[in-house]
Amino acid sequence: MKILVSNDDGYQAPGILALVKALSTIAEVTVVAPADDRSAASSSLTVGKPVRIHEAGERCYYVEGTPADCVHIAVNGLLDFRPDLVVTGVNNGSNLGDDTIYSGTVAAAMEGYLLGIPGIAMSLTHKPGKHFDTAAHVAAGLVRRLMTKPLPMPWLLNVNVPDVPEDDLAGMRVVRLGRRHQAEPVERTHHHHEPGVQVWRIGPAGKAADAGPDTDFGTIAENCVSVTPLLIDLTRYDNLRHVANWLA
């Protein structure tokens, strides 16, 4: 199996190093990842200007671009093979509920999914994370499972792993995404004095709101790994007829 590995924390982040180490024991791994931290880049692509890609060793490239750039360029031109799977992360911090909309980790796996390649986005639930090896071993376990028992295509999994030693994990549950409260208020910085310019800072994500045991938030709270199958179609099917009637 040939696996393309990417992330949004940068190609030297501890999470991706742990992931590569674990996956290399069971598959051929190629890394194409951003040069530096591009967290919360979502699915943004660099268009209208060139993207510089550096060779950093055998089957390892770092990209002056976004997580989605990495997978997009890797699959559509850079690599001389088509990956069987895209695995991203291990992200430094959780990607639960609404986070999946903003996450570059999820977006990099999603970019593969858009191109017809299955994907797994891996995140560690504490920031700064400590037990990246735990999440990397969980990823390797999922890949081993897929080798013996493939899932019907296409598929995309969002996986969050509690930041604990592997022996302390309480299990694994397949659950839906929860929801967060509104994010914390944005803050204005008043130290900056430049005529006509204001400086604001976006604060942390909101606390969990919809976080029952059937959600990713509730699962993580019980020290279990959460696995959520994702889709991309944003159509609100139950509103199609209502909006059509409104327009008629």
Cα–Cα dist 27/105, whole Å: 20
At its nearest, how many Å lie between Mn ion and the CB of residue 37?
A: 7
Nearer to Mn ion, 27 or 33 (CB): 33
Select the residue whose beta carbon is closest to Mn ion and give its number. 39
What three-state secondary structure class fits 187?
strand
| Shortest Å, Cβ 236 to Mn ion | 29
> Shortest approach of Mn ion to residue 4 CB, angstroms?
18
CB of 92 to Mn ion, least distance (A): 5
How many other CB atoms are found less than 10 A from the CB of residue 38? 25
CB of residue 224 vs Mn ion: minimum separation in angstroms? 22
Lateral strand order in the sheet of 28-34: 53-55, 60-63, 28-34, 2-6, 85-92, 119-124, 156-161, 225-229, 172-174
114 DSSP assignment: H
Q: Which is nearer to Mn ion, 19 or 27 (CB)?
A: 19
Binding site for Mn ion (CB under 5 A): 8-9, 39, 91
14-24 vs 132-148: helix crossing angle, rounded to 10: 40
CA distance 200 to 186: 7
CA distance 86 to 141: 15
- The smaller minimum CB distance to Mn ion, of residues 127 and 192, is found at 127
Which residues in 122-135 are b (16+ Cβ under 10 Å) and which e? bbbbeeebebbbbb
Q: Which is nearer to Mn ion, 91 or 215 (CB)?
A: 91
Closest CB to Mn ion among 9 and 111? 9
Amino acid present at 113: Y
**Least gap, CB of 89 to Mn ion (angstroms):** 8
Q: Which is nearer to Mn ion, 27 or 132 (CB)?
A: 132
